[in-house]
Amino acid sequence: YLKIAKLALAFAVIRSKPPGRSCREYAEHLARAVSEREAGWESKVEVLEAEVLRLRQELLLYKICPRFCPERDASAEAVPHQECVKPVSGTSQLEDSGCDVSDCAFESLGTGPDFHQSECNISTPKSWLEGGLPLNLCSTSREDSLTAPVQFLQHLLEIRKLSEGGNLQADFTELENDCVTIHSSVSRLLDGLTVLYNSPKFPASDVLTEAVCVLSSLITDSRLSNHVVKKCFKKLEEFEKNLIQIILRNSSVNRFQALHAVSRTLLSLGRNNTLRSSLISLLLLEVRQFAEQLLEGLQMPAGCDVTRYENIFPLCMVLEQLLENEAEGSQAPGSDCGGEDKVKFLENLDQIILRLSDEFPLFSLYLWRVNVLLNSAQV
């Protein structure tokens, strides 16, 4: 049937071609016309899908909190330009080699040590409920894809906070009945963050800071995290893998501040016990594979990839921090965080450290520290 259809199409092209054109030129012209029409429909479909998701988000918020009003308060959305927090310039932040890194530079990204204690303490007036809980963000065209999911998820967090204080009645059991809206919103948020982290110049913007803050608050909230992590675990695990590869593959000269910020996002994901288990397993696998690659490189004249060697240390620091948190008892009782991966990682690890210690002393030191933390956790 397929061969007959192709033959019939070929005859139709030959018989309908205008004079002065070859069959090949006419077929290529028809193919371009069809592809342009399909591209137009694809863009329209994307716009309609985004609108449908927005309506589903508003409907879900209304079911959770009937006092929520989908009508936007125009006066609240019209943010004066001078009131918008000025984003940190990417060129000024990354104008040097990035070797002199200070914590204050990352605090401006919302990823400093006190980020979760200060920036994520959202204080929203009760009157926002009557205006659709507007979220004031000064976004650029590259960040527009983040604003919609950030708005919805922050509205959800605000309703949760107000209901906890007794100022509002909310029924969060509706989240169980609408898995599609939660999954789609979180997926769009993670996809937008991945695009921004993958950009050649790291955008230290307010939208990115707000998105990371909302994601961290969402996965650590006592009542919302179970709904979100359960429904979006595969997507969150894929996001963890993407962030790890972003760190490993970044070859930009001024990359160290950006890598540090991505590392902070990984640490924020590790605050959730379930995600921490997945993240530790992924990091153990990457560090072990890199150690084995270094061993193979010792026998080859080309040596190792210097850029990848430099990029492995942020992952080692994240892994060490997560294991320290686990050793301090922050891990949920009765759970084995990456048990099988720990056994594989520790296999012949002492011999690997000994063989790498002369050529790669710093990396060997990190391996030894991780080794100590894993052994102490097993004891």
Rounded mean pLDDT of 354-374?
Answer: 93
Across the range 160-173, mean pLDDT stands at 81
- Report the pLDDT averaged over residues 245-262: 88
pTM (two decimals): 0.72
Confidence of residue 201 (pLDDT cuts 50, 70, 90): low
pLDDT interval class at 357 (50, 70, 90): very high
Query: Is residue 114's pLDDT more than 80?
Result: no
Is residue 259 within 8 A of residue 311, CB to CB? The reply is yes
Q: How far apart are CA 149 and CA 144, in angstroms?
A: 10
Report the pLDDT value the prediction gives residue 318, as an integer from 0 to 100.
95
Whole-number pLDDT of residue 370: 94
Average pLDDT, stretch 132-144? Answer: 46
pLDDT of the residue at 251: 87
- pLDDT score of 244: 95
pLDDT tens per residue across span 327-337: 775 444 444 55
Q: Which residue has the higher pLDDT, 204 or 110?
A: 204
**Pick from 249, 242, 251: which is nearest to 191 by CA?**
242
Cα separation, 149 vs 157, in Å, equals 12
pLDDT of residue 204: 59
Per-residue pLDDT of 264-311, as tens digits, reads 999 999 988 889 999 999 999 999 999 999 988 887 656 678 899 999
pLDDT digits (tens, 9 = 90+) for 55-82: 999 999 988 888 765 444 333 333 333 3
> In the structure, what pLDDT confidence band is assigned to residue 362 with cuts at 50, 70 and 90?
very high
Q: What is the DSSP string of 347-366?
A: TTHHHHHHHHTTT-HHHHHH
Helices and strands per DSSP (H, E), number in the chain: 17, 0
Q: How high is the pLDDT of residue 77?
A: 39
The domain limits of the chain are: 146-271, 274-378
